Amino acid sequence: LVSRENHVSRSVVRVRDVPIGGDHMTVIAGPCAVETPEQTLESARMAADAGAALLRGGAYKPRTSPYAFQGLGEEGLKILAETREETGMPIVTEVVDAGDVEVVASYADMLQVGTRNMQNFALLQAVGEAGLPVLLKRGMNATIEEWLMAAEYIAQRGNLDIVLCERGIRTFEKATRNTLDISAVPVAQELSHLPVIVDPSHSGGKRNLVLPLSRAAIAAGADGIIVDVHPTPETALCDGPQALVEEDLAELRDVAGTLSTLM
């Protein structure tokens, strides 16, 4: 279902009125985690300033340590919904458990399946039935074929509104949090009709890498990027070191706007 075979053109996925794929270069931005209404609203303002059409933000955070901030849960979803009311930006947010799909879908505009859950088949099937577009991150240890098979689980439940997201894979390299597999962009686009975007924040794990990796993603033909921003990363409860700050926004806007028109 997700294979390029039998599809003459590549798909465009719509999140409310925002297209991902086709001739569009879509920017999704926002905080890694929803912390407070003020932080979320300020992050949304930053995202919009950077040219983002969609707001990202996690209310359910899959953390490596059980002692790390796990997200605000439904309270966070309510904050996201209020922020959408104020800004008009549709919301992309992660769901980590099949049992939470109904509640997350009742607030979100797009459901995100994170790297750690790429092969959580019960979750894939549940999001396939939720009636919303899905952002499917590549598992950090997954081959491109396994990633596409994960998308197939979603599609098999009747949902073809899937956007693939390359977010870095595990390699021997320690200088970056993950290694951005830039070749995954053209390879996945050749094998599948689904749009492919890149997460330069979770791949590099460092603020100073986000703009160079965004440039690389756009140059490789990605259909969009998903980027962390935060008004005060030093106080962020999750992944502060990779969040772009106010001073970076103009450059991000420039990278996403001018570079994509040159492609």
Binding test (CB under 6 A) with ligand PEP, winner from 137, 193, 207, 230: 137
Specify the DSSP element, H or E, that contains 19.
strand 18-20
DSSP calls for 183-221: THHHHHHHHBSS-EEE-HHHHH-SHHHHHHHHHHHHHTT
Residue 52 to residue 44: CA distance in whole angstroms:
9
Minimum CB distance to ligand PEP smaller for 70 or for 115:
115
Task: Report which DSSP code applies to 231.
Answer: S
Residues 49-68 that bind ligand PEP (CB under 6 A): 58
Minimum CB distance to ligand PEP smaller for 112 or for 159:
112
Nearest position to ligand PEP, beta carbon: 114
Is 114 a residue that touches ligand PEP (CB under 6 A)? yes
Token readout for 13 is: 């996925």
Is 177 a residue that touches ligand PEP (CB under 6 A)? no
Q: How far is the CB of 212 from ligand PEP (least distance, A)?
A: 18
- CB-based burial, 108-136: b 16+ in 10 Å, e otherwise: bbbbbbbbbbbbbeebbbbbbebebbbbb
Which amino acid does the sequence have at 29?
A: A
Residues 68-87 that bind ligand PEP (CB under 6 A): none
Minimum CB distance to ligand PEP smaller for 37 or for 62:
62
Minimum CB distance to ligand PEP smaller for 137 or for 207:
137
Strands (E), 35-127: 54-56, 91-94, 110-113
Binding test (CB under 6 A) with ligand PEP, winner from 15, 27, 32, 222: 32
Binding test (CB under 6 A) with ligand PEP, winner from 167, 177, 193, 207: 167
Token readout for 235 is: 């106080």
Minimum CB distance to ligand PEP smaller for 6 or for 96:
96
Q: How far is the CB of 79 from ligand PEP (least distance, A)?
A: 15
Q: Which residues bind ligand PEP (CB under 6 A)?
A: 32, 58, 94, 114-115, 137, 167, 199, 202
